Structure 1
Amino acid sequence: MSTNTTSRLPAYFLSHGGGPWPYMDGPFRAHFTQLEASLKAIPQELGVKPKAVLMISGHWEERDSFAAMASAKPPMVYDYGGFPAHTYSVVYPAPGDPALAERVRGLIAAAGLPASLDAERGYDHGAFTTMFPMYPDADVPVVQLSMLSNYDPETHLALGRALAPLRDEGVLIVGSGLSYHNLRAFGPGAKSASSQFDAWLQDALLKASPAERSELLRHWSDAPAARQAHPREDHLIPLMVAVGAAESEAATCIYHEPDFMGGVTASSFRFGALPA
């Protein structure tokens, strides 16, 4: 797999599953077979190794500015509970990229949006559970970028637009969340709401024109079962960033599972064409 810093890379919105699943075995891990296969397929479909990954995770938000992780050797953030003891010592040792973090900060600031650097932040599970299946050798630098805690769709679409030039610089932009995220209604209880919202999401992303797509996302809470699917939209907002980074380009569904975790309809999407 060659390194390519000239061909434009697509952007992704990935459903990242639950907890530290890639580091587990047994029945719980078995729930993620299809999701894992979709993540492992991404490097092959890209055909080139990114210079770096810019990761917007549903598990990091800041109130006042978009914060870029600036550490050269990011630590780990074990932001989950109730899992086996060994999952609180796993390490995904991908390097950070302070120069990319500064580039990200500059692009955001140039767009008139608040931006800062965070030298202490580490990889949360929204980042390392997607990166480990994709790049198990941890040989691609990763910079995480926070959301804003206001969850404003247009602001996060604008963030994506500001970051779009990175796609021509060999940087893979990844929004990591979950297309359905209601922790109080997983399993069979999620079947109706998740399928209704996913059907709307498929239409909005795959069938609407680019302008219509962005407008639909600005008003996502009007969608069928929207608030049942996302009582708190932290796991949906990374989608806005990925869409904004490829706002005029076509979307492709790369993962769709109608019975995830026993009843959830879950999906992941790519925005933009694959490198030539």
Structure 2
Amino acid sequence: MSSNPKQRQPALFLPHGGGPCFFMDWTWGPADTWHATQRFLESVASSLPEKPKALLVISGHWEEPVFTCSAVSKPDLIFDYSGFPQHTYQLTWPAPGNPALAERVIGILREARLFAIPSFNRGYDHGVFVPLKVAFPQAQIHVVTMSLDQTLDPALHIAAGRALAPLRDEGVLIIASGMSFHNLRGYLRPETPERARAFDTWLTAAVESPAPERDALLTNWQTAPFAAYAHPREEHLIPLMVAAGAGGQAAGKRIFTDDPMGAKISAYRFDG
């Protein structure tokens, strides 16, 4: 892949919704609960400087002892959700893998003195195929998925993103797939709107800060208002750290926000 800085791809943090929510008439609430998020995801491709040569996707649904990259040519779908209608277990999204790019990602991380290994059987979990089936329905772009490190150390994931940033100049779109609010017991509770909004306000201010301040704030995200309420466990937030690290020195920006089931969520873009 040739370098073309004028067409540098951004790094994105996208909300992937709840289970297969974009392919149902309803889920955990009124029928239109996820319509705004779906429309946002449908707009992602047209917001890019050009069609990506490949996608590098970091999903909040994959954790390993070290960073692990899928080196599979034809990944299967992993239906890692339960209790949903039968048709949602028959979804397809046959986007090809890219073992060569996976090897490149691993090499970059190792050069940065970060442990990284390949996986030769990992498919696309629902944090990958559910939002990307909406954003890239033709499933023609090569995809490599990368796990979180199971420590969920925010500084480590920022460092990984920083190491991977040069891929953006080669046409690789870096997508962090998670949720800026992820407390399944908090949805539709009366205290949630205020708490989720306070956390989202802090998180957006952090993302939109210059890189040194942003990295420091995100590293200490647990000091944010209602941080533990928004994320009883942080695996859905940590992908954001990779996107931020890959985002360069310029401030990030919020590009979408909504309140599904009373919980404020946001998406972010990094163009630095």
What is the CA–CA distance in structure 2 between the aligned matches of 1:26 and 1:13, rounded to whole Å? 24
Shift in Å, 1:247: 3.5
Shift in Å, 1:89: 2.1
Alignment of 1:1-12 (within 5 A): 6=4, 7-12=7-12
What is the CA–CA distance in structure 2 between the aligned matches of 1:216 and 1:26, rounded to whole Å? 36
Shift in Å, 1:17: 0.6
Alignment of 1:1-276 (within 5 A): 6=4, 7-26=7-26, 30-63=32-65, 65-189=66-190, 190-206=192-208, 208-257=209-258, 259-261=259-261, 263-272=262-271
- Cα deviation per residue 1:36-74 (whole Å; 9 max; x = unaligned)? 1111111111141100100000000002x1000010000
Question: 1:188 touches 1:264 (CA, 8 Å); kept in 2?
Answer: no
Distance verdict in 2 for CA 1:132–1:220, change over 3 Å? same
Question: 1:40 touches 1:133 (CA, 8 Å); kept in 2?
Answer: yes
Shift in Å, 1:30: 2.1
Question: 1:214 touches 1:247 (CA, 8 Å); kept in 2?
Answer: no
What is the CA–CA distance in structure 2 between the aligned matches of 1:242 and 1:232, rounded to whole Å? 19
- Cα deviation per residue 1:67-117 (whole Å; 9 max; x = unaligned)? 000100001111111100111121211000111000001001110000000
**Structure 1 ranges of 4+ moved more than 3 A:** 26-29
- Cα deviation per residue 1:13-42 (whole Å; 9 max; x = unaligned)? 011110012222357652111111111111
Question: 1:5 touches 1:51 (CA, 8 Å); kept in 2?
Answer: no
- What is the DSSP-based 3-state SS (H/G/I as helix, E as strand, rest coil) of the residue aligned with 1:9? coil
What is the CA–CA distance in structure 1 between the aligned matches of 2:165 and 2:31, rounded to whole Å? 34
- What is the DSSP-based 3-state SS (H/G/I as helix, E as strand, rest coil) of the residue aligned with 1:188? coil
What is the CA–CA distance in structure 2 between the aligned matches of 1:129 and 1:69, rounded to whole Å? 17
More deviation, 163-172/38-47: 38-47
What is the CA–CA distance in structure 2 between the aligned matches of 1:146 and 1:124, rounded to whole Å? 11
Shift in Å, 1:187: 1.9
- What is the DSSP-based 3-state SS (H/G/I as helix, E as strand, rest coil) of the residue aligned with 2:44? helix
Letter in 2 for 1:271: F
What is the CA–CA distance in structure 1 between the aligned matches of 2:132 and 2:268, rounded to whole Å? 16
What is the CA–CA distance in structure 1 between the aligned matches of 2:62 and 2:170, rounded to whole Å? 25
More deviation, 128-137/230-239: 128-137
Question: 2:11 touches 2:247 (CA, 8 Å); kept in 1?
Answer: yes
What is the CA–CA distance in structure 2 between the aligned matches of 1:29 and 1:252, rounded to whole Å? 29
Question: 2:26 touches 2:33 (CA, 8 Å); kept in 1?
Answer: no
What is the CA–CA distance in structure 2 between the aligned matches of 1:12 and 1:198, rounded to whole Å? 17
Question: 2:9 touches 2:49 (CA, 8 Å); kept in 1?
Answer: no
Q: CA RMSD in A?
A: 1.6
Question: 1:21 touches 1:29 (CA, 8 Å); kept in 2?
Answer: no
Question: 1:67 touches 1:117 (CA, 8 Å); kept in 2?
Answer: yes
TM-score by length of 2: 0.94
Question: 1:4 touches 1:51 (CA, 8 Å); kept in 2?
Answer: no
What is the CA–CA distance in structure 1 between the aligned matches of 2:139 and 2:53, rounded to whole Å? 12
Shift in Å, 1:182: 0.6
Over the matched positions of the two proteins, sequence identity in percent amounts to 47
Q: How many residues get paired?
A: 267
Where structure 2 has 5 or more consecutive residues not aligned to the other structure, the ranges are: none
- Cα deviation per residue 1:205-248 (whole Å; 9 max; x = unaligned)? 12x22111100001000000000000100000000000000131
- What is the DSSP-based 3-state SS (H/G/I as helix, E as strand, rest coil) of the residue aligned with 1:30? coil
- What is the DSSP-based 3-state SS (H/G/I as helix, E as strand, rest coil) of the residue aligned with 2:269? strand
Distance verdict in 2 for CA 1:194–1:125, change over 3 Å? same
